[in-house]
Amino acid sequence: MGDLSGRVAVVTGASRGIGKGCALALARRGARVVVNYNTHGDEAEEVVAAIAAMGSEAVAFGASVADRPAVDAMFAHALERFGRVDIAVANAALSIRGPFLELSVEDVARTWDVSLWGVFHTCQAGARAMVPRGQADGPLPGGKIVVISSVMSFMPFAHSVPYNTAKAGINHMAYTIAAELAPHRINVNVIEPGWTDTPGERRFTDDETLYAAGRQLPWGRLGTIEDVGEACAFLCSDAADYITGANLRVDGGFWLPRAPAATRSD
């Protein structure tokens, strides 16, 4: 599905979890990838090695998405190394959870710096790298931007005010950016994963609890990073060229009402 040979992708938070799934799915289709990380450099290098084993090319780049000069430097490095940027995946996020009455302003600000401002920085720096090439290519697409959001953007889970708010905000941010970038033929779309099996989930629960909960979901399991990666690859492919400002929910029906238990009629 969707040959991405010759394309260059920058994926934030790509050393593990959903970002890793996106980076590998894009590379599997031929894209060269900048594997962004902040605190897991060794794992980022493992992703780079996995991409090389596929026959594609990748480079790891350490930068916090909350640091705008660092994000600009990352895209500059991508242009210097590969000569172009075609795809930007704004995935990196941070969630500090706690009861609303006990949250500190600092904890909320830290979450928004990464999960809200980090998406803005990634999308704007990515678009600025794409627009000149799109203009030069005339009718050809200027690029693809994919924002990784969450079903928590509309499902108000308790103890997650900072993260829920950030995800709701980046959805509307992405739709607005999509409207502005349409004349440049830059597609901007959102993916909303549901409960996904990632290292980050282990910060809040243990494996046994996690998998038991997964079996109770409509699809009978948690989502995987591959599930989200495949959706990302589709939105970055030519098959999705007429899709922009859209929201693709990849949650196995997580948000759907649970069917009532069967009852006897006799």
Q: Contact, 148 vs 223, CB < 8 A?
A: no
Which residues are catalytic, by number? Answer: 163
Which 3-state string (H, E, C) describes the chain? CCCCCCCEEEECCCCCHHHHHHHHHHHHCCCEEEEEECCCHHHHHHHHHHHHHCCCCEEEEECCCCCHHHHHHHHHHHHHHHCCCCEEEECCCCCCCCCHHHCCHHHHHHHHHHHCHHHHHHHHHHHHHHHHHHHHCCCCCCEEEEEECCHHHCCCCCCCHHHHHHHHHHHHHHHHHHHHHHHHCEEEEEEEECCECCHHHHHCCCHHHHHHHHHCCCCCCCECHHHHHHHHHHHCCHHHCCCCCCEEEECCCCCCCCCCCCCCCC
Cα four-point dihedral sign 58, 166, 223, 43: positive
